[in-house]
A and B are shown apart, each in its own frame.
Chain A
Amino acid sequence: MAEWEPVVGLEIHVQLKTRTKMFCRCANSFATEPNTQTYPVCLAFPGTLPTPNETAVEWTLKLGLALGCEIAARALFHRKHYPYPDLPKGYQISQYDEPLCLDGRFTLPGPDGDSEVGIVRAHLEEDAAKTIHVGGATGRIVGAAHSNIDFNRGGTPLVEIVTRPDIRSADQAKRFLQLLRQTIVELGLSDAEMEKGQLRADANVSVREAGETVYRTRTELKNMNSFNHIARGIDAEVRRQIATWEAGGEVVQETLDYEVKSDTVTPRRRKEEADDYRYFPEPDLVPLEPAAELLERLKAELPELPGARIRRFEREYALPFYDAEVLNGSAALAALYERVALDGVDAKAASNVLMNDFVATGVDPAVVNAQELAKVIGARATIPRATFAKALAESGDPEFKADAYLGEALVADASELEPLVDRILADNPGQVAAYKGGKEGLLGYFVGQVMKETEGKADPKVVNDLLREKLG
């Protein structure tokens, strides 16, 4: 049986969270009543002219720099023609053969070293309006009686990022998208929440036998709205293509939808005519020539990016890759970790507490007093488990002080614990016999009983010593 290798490239759209739309000054916010954020420009009234949003252009350049792209000396907007009602001009203002950002490289840290994903381009365009299909059983296109259009989203700034086919597994695709999202969020360009459609990704998928140097026919996979669905969709399509080739068939170039419920892909209805976008330079907009001083400023503004920060955490705090990756899942958590670790708490212990117990509390890491939290984490072995948990849960309060929790010390006095230990052993003769018969794992059971009776306030080390002495 041949060994097959998936070959995946991604096409990502990101909504920028500028204050206004791309080509008119309507507020860029569509969480409002339909069609209330509209203007003659984004409604395509005749005679209107687009005026480009300077911030959207700068943010696209900033993202390009973060992706290691070359910035074009000269870029153009083009018209891309579509006949659909969600683009009332009859075309989308996009970029074609002279985009703002070209030829980048995105480093993806992994447990077994870095991998690199090439970036073909990153360009700026306007989003289409939202279409709501009315009537018909499912609210989908098929069977709809008519469609309603809400132009609030129409004309909002959208960045398109296209990767090279450098991705070799569904898991790598998912991890790339997660780190790209994290990078975009930390740059402050978008909230990039997939479930809100602020980040959308399509995958170009093909497979080839190990050792082959050319690419086989690819398909385009759409309709995936979470990182997990993207990974599952790619896996499903890879399985389908391998089965097709192995059965002696031929993969044809087509667009497919991933159906979550059945975990399968289904072809979209094929169009009668091939797309004919009739791209040409947008005559209403002048060329873009990013100035050297602007690019210098944007470069200087770039913060440490999450990919680099993962590697630094591994290095500086001697953390396993997994820890470094989880802690860098948000800039605020990473910053809190650094402040706690620099406050003298054991780096790995601090990581364990933050990744697990702290994250489970749901407290916003941005509001926590790190010094006080560091004190609590440092004293975790000497305070009751329940008190420790309470401290973490309350660590977001403005009044949070470690001393309030450290006062409650563990009961470490053996003479105080001894009567309780005796009673528990007397109450459980069966377990005692089993322990003495060799089931030494039962020690944990007895420790648990003591903890239960003392509400977690007994010093586990003293309890262990007492139990061993009595049972030994």
Chain B
Amino acid sequence: MAITRDDVLHVAALARLELTEDEIARLEVQLNDILAAVGKVSELDLSDVPPTSHPLAVVNVFRPDEPRPSLPLEDVFANAPERDGDHFRVPPTGETAA
């Protein structure tokens, strides 16, 4: 399986990246190199190994449902590029997740 130019453009669009022609060509090569390096794993017979979703043999890590104070507003907005009153101001969005 190789990464094509279309794959690079698709991933760039998902990440909202604007790439130059040079960058597209370079990333196509680099992504294929990375894929090939990781692909070494498939030389092993892993038919009996369940997919690893986490490297630690730990399950059920929780915290109790007890509130603690939230951040003061000046810290909340310390890194905000734009602020409208006590809201984060963002460009008009065509879509929301909820």
Contact = CB atoms under 8 A, between A and B. Distances in A.
B86 A286 contact: no
A286 B60 CA distance: 7
A27 B67 contact: yes
A135 B89 CA distance: 12
Interface string A130-159: 111111000001001111111101000000
Interface stretch (B19-27, B29-37, B38-46, B51-59): B51-59
Contacts of B86: 33-36
B90 A38 contact: no
Contact of A86 (B64, B76, B79, B96): B96
A286 B58 contact: yes
A128 B60 contact: no
Main secondary structure of the interface of A (DSSP, over half): loop
A141 B93 CA distance: 7
B56 to A, nearest CB: 6
Contacts of B85: 34, 148
Given A19-B66, A84-B93, A278-B14, A149 B87 contact: yes
B66 A145 contact: no
B61 interface: yes
Interface string B70-94: 1101001101000011111111111
B67 A286 contact: no
B63 A84 contact: no
A271 B14 CA distance: 13
A54 B54 contact: no
Given A38-B71, A128-B98, A146-B92, A83 B58 contact: no
A38 B76 contact: yes
B93 A283 contact: no
Contacts of B63: 25, 51-54
**Range of interface residues on chain A?**
35 or more
Nearest to B57: A286
A76 interface: yes
A378 interface: no
A43 B76 contact: yes
Contacts of A25: 63, 66-68
A68 interface: no
A148 B68 CA distance: 26
A273 B13 contact: yes
B53 A287 contact: yes
Q: Which 6 A-B pairs have the closest CB atoms?
A: A148-B87, A54-B62, A281-B53, A128-B98, A55-B65, A128-B97
Interface of B: 10, 13-14, 16, 53-54, 56, 58-68, 70-71, 73, 76-77, 79, 84-98
18 contacts: A19-B65, A20-B66, A35-B76, A35-B77, A35-B87, A36-B70, A52-B61, A54-B64, A146-B84, A146-B92, A147-B92, A148-B90, A150-B87, A151-B88, A153-B98, A269-B94, A287-B53, A291-B60
Interface of A: 18-20, 25-28, 33-40, 43, 45, 51-57, 74, 76, 81-87, 92, 127-135, 141, 144-151, 153, 269, 271, 273, 276, 278, 281, 283, 285-289, 291
Given A84-B93, A135-B92, A289-B60, 4 more contacts: A33-B86, A39-B71, A52-B63, A83-B14
